[in-house]
Structure 1
Amino acid sequence: MIRGLHEQKRHCLRTLTDRQDEQSIETQIERCQATIDQHGWHLVETYQDSAVSGTSYKRRPGIQQLLRRVEHGGIDIVLCLSTDRLSRDVAHSAQIGKKLSYHDVELWTARANARISDIEMNIGAVLSQEMVEQGRYRTREGMRTTVQKGKAAGGIAYGYRVKQAYDERGDRIPGLREIDEAEARIIRWIFEEYAKGRSPKELAIELNSRVPPVPGPRGAKWRDTAIRGHVSRGSGILNNELYIGRVVWNRREYRKNPDTEKRVARPNSRDEWIVTEQPDLRIVSDALWTAVKKRQMEVEQSFSRTTTNRLNRGHRPQYLLSGILECAHCFGPYAIMARDRYGCTNRQKKLPVDHLGGIVCTNSKTISRFELEERVVSALPDNLLGTDNLDRINREIKAAVTHGQQRATMEPDRLRTEISTIETKQKAIGEKIAERLMAGHAAIPALDQMLDDLEQQRLTLSKQLATAPPTNSPTATQALNGGLLRSAIAAVRTMLSTRENGVEESWISLAPPTYPESGDRTIGGRQIGGADHPWPPRSHPGRPGSLA
């Protein structure tokens, strides 16, 4: 972020990367620094997102830090190498542009050495997003062709290694693989032992305890989930059809959830699968494969008939603290081990922990779910629920109401300005489409969609302007009293103790007692609700029946 020596402005420099190396980052910084020196600006801060996709938004710490700094004020310019460094997603670019405009911050690029208008930013985002989609399509089609030729289109599965083969020119032929006999023996042993009746958990424990140790997939420790996998998805050692010489590709496709920005797998129909036979990659016989599939069906049927244990029917239920408990000893998850009792998952599965020197977690303490939820709710800090916050809360309420009334007064003018801005964007996009058609270029559907979206926005704003209420006189705010606050606190406690969903943006750590004979358990964590102040660990004396 920079301040002009002559214009008396403050500005912000930010360089972003889209999965690029450190050399690329340095190049972007050098280009931006040249622009800063040319205009005589003063650099305040630099932000970067190393090796993070430009199609993401929430998962990029650099852009989030930049926007928070812009909201803080005192910044006039955001500088980046080009608009595609800012974002490669139309929706995200529009959101960033709106925030910069709201705070009167200009967007500049070092490549253009000029200010970038909203329409230039939006058109650049459309072209960047289209380029990303085309790249994904070409990559997918290239992988399809590779699989149809009998080559590996992705990573090498456990039990195989890269085959060193060369063509007549001496160049290595990519995508070839061959059986790794040492790992193949482990795979056959897993299949044989599972067919005899042993569980994936027992097999993982034995493999991890062997001397010398047997590395698991990707060199990690063996876990029961790596062996068991998911039958319908074809994942895991016991479900990989490559071990019987059959390559199955395109079983699933991945889409990014727009809310979480995480990839979510979706199964494809069987007619979309690409299946090829490669007998030279077979590790397991048909008889052994059939025996394993038969036992998997028997296990599934036995679980489906169970009516006494809810955990055996579908997904585990979600409780108040689900997903936010961790063991303070091994930092692994705390989950339901028995009937409504939490315990360390790593210890229950007897998984070696690397940062503990390869031993199994020693935290054997369990705790009742009801007791833990009661203690967590009771441990909500006084600075969150205390009545000493009345004056501060009343001031914030009054400021919020006053701000809302001021915005209501300026609302008609703001709506007219936004409508005029949208009409300018529509005209610019129409001209861009006409230029492409005159030049004989193919139409871009995203530009047509952008015009439709802008028209919908214009109609919505016009309706809001037509129905905007007249400006009213300031309204006096009612002060919050202690009794009302205590009622609100009681409602919050009731909600936290009865809700079924887990608490987001929180974590709670459970530790074994310092002195085992005391039977105490220590619970500590960050304040529920994402508050900035951690609440200290609290010990609670053990009660009969509270410890396993």
Structure 2
Amino acid sequence: MIAAIYSRKSIFTGKGDSVENQVQMCKEYAEKNLNISEFLIYEDEGFSGGNINRPKFQKLLKDIKEKKFNCLICYRLDRISRNVSDFSSTLELLEEYNISFVSIKEQFDTSTPMGKAMVYISSVFAQLERETIAERVRDNMLELAKSGRWLGGQTPLGFGSEKVTFFDNEFKERTMYQLIPIEDELNLVKLIFNKYSELKSLRKVNQYLLENNFKTKQGANWNVRAISDLLTSPTYVRATKTIFSYLESKGISCVGTPNSKNGILTYNKKKGKKSYRSTEEWIAAIARHEGIIPATEWLNIQKTLKENKSKAPRLGKTHNALLTGILKCGHCGSPMTVIHGDLDANGNKRLYYVCSMKIYSKRTRCNNGNLRTIDIEKVVLDKLKEITVDNGLLIKELEKFKLQNHINTENIEVENIKKSIKDNEVAIETLIKQLAEDETSTITKYVVAEVEKREKSIKELKLKLSQALEKQTNVSSYYENIDYVINTIRNFYSNICFEDFEVKKFIISSLIDKITWDSPTGTVEINLWGS
């Protein structure tokens, strides 16, 4: 009889319920109570029980269907899953293939009707625990939101943050942070709101800000996205019941009592640095700072933004421009975008690369000349033909780069780790021999401690080895891409005219870091990657 042992832990710690300890306890239980001595081990370390997207668990499911074992043993039910649906489907799969399930901590055995019933009941409580934890986190967030405090991070334009000391209900001294106004920045915020109310166009507001050299809080040039984010932020509006109704209509939970004076802070918006949560998970709360934009004006702006959204200009979107994203303005460094011109003699539209700063600032911040797409693309393709013909220097450099990096980094790292593991294993063997030769209590204590230290080091090194091998796999995929580029370059000169547009664009972006255009001198500068 063969038993499968599955162990899982969300994070690596040194506590007693490590995956190794779970396996050992399962083995001891199986040998003592089930008379099983042959095992298949499945370990997932660093994976949550909230879903079953775990590599070794997926391997386990596959092996269930291949009947590779007769019994599945785990340390505790929630090691399988904290989700009732996932757990139930796993249990049904085990039943389908006549494989019993044993949880040693809860002492459940699905070979008995009562054991099967208790397994389902316990899995429900496991999911309840997970959902309770999630609810507790949200409740804590709500409690923090009720205080209107600033929870840290980059403060919005118009505000800094300051530390405030206060006494709680039990007269214990506490500290928190709140936003404080910065008048110069708030004046710019008011200007942007007023300009949008006047011009009713994000593009025109952006043009105004660029023409007058206004900067964001981080000192960057304004763009349409940054202006839109500022205008839609409730940080600046004076909170009223109408504002709360508007936010609630978008699914946002609102906390506090509107007083037509204070602004609003939003919490729980982002998931990581870039992605946003669903608005149903957002929390909006009355803040401690005062708002500066009347509710009616703010709501009118939201209405205008919504109406204009479908009318937003689409500059530079074309499927016929090879150099978008690579071509930069030689004067100001801004990306060059594509605009449509009049028709040529054949009835086709002429396309031009134009400096985006020139467009948005109406020539006040840059006046670099336009460039026909067909002209610059011919120059670039001819240059690439020149450097790739006859398998020239570029191919040699790419092959040299591939060889040096592949050998000198990943391979050496893996070999060094393997050597360290071997050295520790040899050291342990020597220590054990020494212990066998001299069993005095004095030396035993030191030898055992050193063996344990070496074993711990081996475990850490094996984890590093696993990560290094995974990295090596990713690097191998990267070098396969280099091989593709090298092969493409070899045929570039003869085949480029026949390549698909997307292939051409990929090849160009693989070879070229940046291209700059300077109209007064008529200079096109092409910078290859690594040059």
Q: TM-score, normalised by structure 2?
A: 0.44
Q: Higher strand proportion, which one?
A: 2
Higher Cα radius of gyration: 2
Q: Write 1 or 2 for the structure with the bigger share of helix.
A: 2
